[in-house]
Amino acid sequence: MSLLPRRRFLRNGAALTGLLLASPRLFAQERAAESLKPITGDVIPIGREERAQRLARAQQAMRAQNIGALMIEPGASLIYYSGVRWWRSERLTAAIVPAEGAPIIVCPFFERPSVEESLGIDAEIRVWQEHESPYAVIADWLKERGLATSRIGMEESVRYFAVDGLQSALPDARIVRDPVTRSLRMRKTPAEIALMQKAAEVTLAAYRWTYPRIQRGMARQDIAALMDAATTALGGRTEFNLILLGEAAAYPHGSGKPQAVTPGEVVLMDCGCTVEDYQSDISRTFVHAASPTAQQRKVWNEVAQGQKIAFAAASIGTPAGSVDDAVRAYYEKRGYGPGYRLPGLSHRTGHGIGMEGHEPVNLVHGEGTPLAPGMCFSNEPGLYLPGVMGIRLEDCFHMTDTGPVWFSRPPVSIDNPID
């Protein structure tokens, strides 16, 4: 689900200290996670060879589309191409990838040693001083390469002031939207798929550890603390733990009202982690300490069927939007909707996933991008009944030449919600 609301929840062990000290019982449970062992010892991080291949594919596509260079700011795409792990501020740090030859990294002079630490490709680093313009540095380099009047692609998340700054420094260049990076990142390689598989395994293992430790009266932060402790002990880095209890589960990103685990009410957990830059995203919904009611069981089973329909509809060459359409057609027959109307499915069936929790493209009505090998998606056709409850089951899959393959398999039943 959406990244922004998740930031309201606890994300690391250090943030838990005050909460856990205030609850000795919870603190003891959280400490029990120390008995878990990392399961990530066999992972192979993305290395120089893989990044060199990415750059080669990007440059081939750039030449085919008459793009002279790309500009990438810090974030997932900068890591994707260069390995450089940095943050965005008013001081520009960026990579410039030419259609031919090695890229450059432009950064403040005093940041060079730190930026260089994570550089994972062969690239020149050019610096600018505090009184200088980074755009002049970039423009000079592009002029040296004969690219002063070429089409310069801006990676889609580059900030406006950076676009404007380069255009001012290089007025004869044509600034365009980067037509290359999105399509490259959309189709994962076997190395990327392996890391996403491991992230899913970590999150599932954390669910298995946390589920039996959920107790009556726990707040959502308590459950998030347990998931975080388990994820960390298993070798992952928590990205989000969204916990929705009772009626709050009827709203996909929850409610600010006080919530506590109550027997007979649903617990909706939407959790994910990162392993070597690649993410998982898995949701589970169950009823705490009671047999599910007929309504809870019915809606849970309908969502489980919705997942199956989405998975079956995901075939090579099929427009991504048709997966969403197939689920909604089933739900409408069951009396939900139509469309996004509630009670029903008020959001898309799934989103792309990889280095970021949400990436293009989405499994949403009207999306015409054909499904292709290497694409990765969440599958989460939740059903929401305002004022009552919500049920969301979410597992991710990747496309192969022969169709979709699960990263995590959906649960079998509401009675066995954590497989």
CA angle, corner 407, sides to 305 and 267, nearest 5?
Answer: 55
Q: How far is CA 11 from the centre of its chain?
A: 15
Q: Between the CA of residue 114 and those of 84, 86, 87, what are the distances in Å?
A: 10, 9, 12
What backbone torsions phi and psi does residue 272 show, to the nearest 5 degrees?
A: -160, 160
The pLDDT score that the predictor gives to residue 392 is 98
Low-confidence ranges of the chain (pLDDT < 70): 1-26
The string over 228-258, giving b where at least 16 C-beta atoms fall within 10 Å of a residue's C-beta and e elsewhere, is: bbbbbbbbbbbbbbbbbbbbbbbbbebeeee
Give 169-178 pLDDT, tens digit per residue: 999 999 999 9
Residue 219 exposed, middle or buried by CB count within 10 Å (0-12, 13-18, 19+): middle
Q: How far is CA 327 from the centre of its chain?
A: 22
Q: Domain 48-179 maps to which CATH number in 3.40.50.1980, 1.10.3720.10, 3.40.50.300, 3.40.350.10?
A: 3.40.350.10
The Cα–Cα gap between 235 and 198 comes to 10
The answer to whether 86 and 78 are in contact (CB under 8 A) is yes
Residue 271 exposure: Cα atoms within 13 Å on the Cβ side: 39
Structure tokens at 258: 């006080």
The pLDDT score that the predictor gives to residue 71 is 98
Q: Which residue has the tokens 């990142």?
A: 185
Q: How many residues does the chain have?
A: 419
Structure tokens at 332: 């409408």
The pLDDT score that the predictor gives to residue 2 is 43
The pLDDT score that the predictor gives to residue 303 is 98
The answer to whether 406 and 281 are in contact (CB under 8 A) is no
Q: Give me the numbers of helices (H) and strands (E) for the chain, helices first please.
A: 13, 17
- Decide: helix, strand or coil at residue 73: coil
The Cα–Cα gap between 236 and 347 comes to 28
The Cα–Cα gap between 35 and 229 comes to 11
Concatenate the DSSP letters of all residues of 109-160 into one string.
GGGHHHHHHT--S--EEEEE-TTS-HHHHHHHHHHHTT-TTSEEEEPTT--H
User: Which residues of the chain form CATH 3.90.230.10?
Assistant: 3-35+188-406
The pLDDT score that the predictor gives to residue 17 is 42
Strands of the 94-98 sheet, one edge to the other: 124-128, 104-108, 94-98, 69-72, 151-154, 174-177
The pLDDT score that the predictor gives to residue 31 is 80
> Which residues are CB-neighbours of 28 under 8 A, at least 6 positions away?
none
Q: Kindly give the pairing relationship between strand 174-177 and strand 151-154.
A: parallel
CB atoms within 10 A of CB 331: 23
User: Which residues of the chain form CATH 3.40.350.10?
Assistant: 48-179
Give 301-326 pLDDT, tens digit per residue: 999 999 999 999 999 999 999 999 99
CATH 3.90.230.10 fits 3-35+188-406, yes or no: yes
pTM score of the predicted model: 0.93
The Cα–Cα gap between 377 and 188 comes to 11
